[in-house]
Amino acid sequence: MDNLQKAQIIAQRLEDFYPETPIPLQFSSIYTLLVAVLLSAQCTDERVNKVTPALFAKADNPYDMIKLSPAEIENIIRPCGLAPKKSKAIWDLSQIIINKHKGIVPNNFADLEELPGVGHKTASVVMSQGFGEAAFPVDTHIHRLAQRWGLSSGKNVEQTEKDLKALFPRDSWNKLHLQIIFFGREYCPARGHDAQKCPICKDLGVQQP
């Protein structure tokens, strides 16, 4: 079975399990999506969703955000972890969005990735979920499953992203990356994984844990 055949099996199984893919993070605008995705680094979506209502009640746009001090932001977002670094990034990127982009979150990778605290994965999520542009954000779940399923031998998420983009149709990327995340959490965890019970691993003949 080659990788393209594997990709077809995986795509069909994921569609069977997750025909609908609600976006895990709660947001009301592209700006609040950007902030929520930044907060989700090394933090669960569930926790982010518990923290952001208090933050966005005070500031759901860059103009109101810079009226808060980084210390005030830090105090609100502390449960998300890395609060000093994230609060400074949120304040700084809000200032840049105002000064350089007239208060509007930019809709391209180059400008997004120039913002403090925004790497390629965060930019990919914003482009796909905010602007509807084809992107394939690769997080630890996707990187791990791509390796387990033999779709990529990439040592980093950048190479894994390239490999997956080559295997799956462009118009499926935005939905597929969420489907893989959902599947990894529910059926194909990093620990305690049984390849014979996992619906996809069993179909692919995966042997390793």
Q: What residues are annotated to the active site?
A: 121, 139
| 88, burial (CB in 10 Å: exposed 0-12, middle 13-18, buried 19+) | middle
- Kindly state the DSSP code that residue 193 receives in the 8-state scheme: -
In sequence order, what DSSP letters do the residues of 88-147 get, joined into one string?
Answer: HHHHHHHHHHHHHHTTS---SHHHHHTSTT--HHHHHHIIIIIS--------HHHHHHHH
Give 164's contacts (C-beta < 8 A, 6+ positions apart): 136, 138, 142, 146, 151, 152
161 C-beta neighbours (distance < 10 Å), count: 24
Rg value, the chain, Cα = 18
CA–CA gap between residue 77 and residue 80 (Å, rounded): 6
Q: What is the C-alpha separation between 14 and 12, in angstroms, rounded?
A: 5
The half-sphere exposure of 78 on its side-chain side, counting CA atoms within 13 A, is 5
